[in-house]
Structures are given as structure tokens and as C-alpha cells.
Amino acid sequence: EPEVTQTPSHQVTQMGQEVILRCVPISNHLYFYWYRQILGQKVEFLVSFYNNEISEKSEIFDDQFSVERPDGSNFTLKIRSTKLEDSAMYFCASSDGTQYFGPGTRLLVL
């Protein structure tokens, strides 16, 4: 069964550093999403992406965040200058009308 994959599974970084989280969506899906989940809290929407552009973004998705689909298969989330409060699980999802989630990347900002 096709699935969404994400790399790395864990990422530790210093405050102020840039990180890139990678996702490979399910191949025939057209909608892609990033969500985050701070430990013990609910899942929060960050951004949706369709037809090579952002469809919607939440208030969380400020100028330090960006998304890209560089090569037609990968879908990346870049955090330019990480802050302590960016520590969370980041989930990628892709959709054919139903959203399927990847296993997540645990980001720890020190």
C-alpha cells in the first residue's frame, strides 16, 4: 500500500540554525500539507500546497517557514532560523480527497 514517507525521523539543531524536513507524498496525490504537533497537544495545520504553490497557510506559518516541491517527488519544509518553540513533531500529509499522514519528524531545538 502506498504511504507517505518523511526524513529524517529525528533532528536536533541549535537555535538559529536552518533545518529542512523532507517528505515524499503518495505519487498520484495532488494536495500536500504540513502539520505540527507540540508534545501532548493537538495537531496544528501549517500549510497546504497545490499546483506548485501555497493554497493556504496558518498564522503559525510565518516568514521563517517555506515549502518547496523541488523535483516533482519531494515536498520540503524549511525553517530558516529555528527557535526553541519550534520543537515539535512535524507531519507531512498528502491527499486524494482523504489526507494520509507520514510518520513525522521529531525536531528538537536546543
User: Which residues in this chain contact other proteins in the complex, by CB under 8 A?
Assistant: 4, 6, 31, 33, 41-45, 48, 50, 55-56, 58, 89, 91, 98-104
With left for phi above 0 and alpha for psi between -120 and 50, is residue 70 left, alpha or beta? alpha
Q: Which is nearer to other proteins, 15 or 105 (CB)?
A: 105
Of the pair 14, 53, the CB lying nearest other proteins is at: 53
| Cβ pair 109, 14 in contact under 8 A | yes
Residue 103: CB atoms within 10 A of its CB come to 14
Report how far apart, in Å, the C-alpha atoms of 17 and of each of 13, 80, 81 are: 7, 7, 5
Minimum distance, C-beta of residue 2 to other proteins, in the bound complex (Å)? 13
Give the number of C-alpha atoms closer than 13 A to the C-alpha of residue 86, restricted to the C-beta side.
28
In the complex, minimum distance from the CB of residue 14 to other proteins, in angstroms, rounded to a whole number: 24
Least distance to other proteins from the beta carbon of 63, Å?
A: 19
Closer Cβ to other proteins, 75 or 91, answer by number: 91
Task: Name the residue nearer to other proteins (CB basis): 10 or 16.
Answer: 10
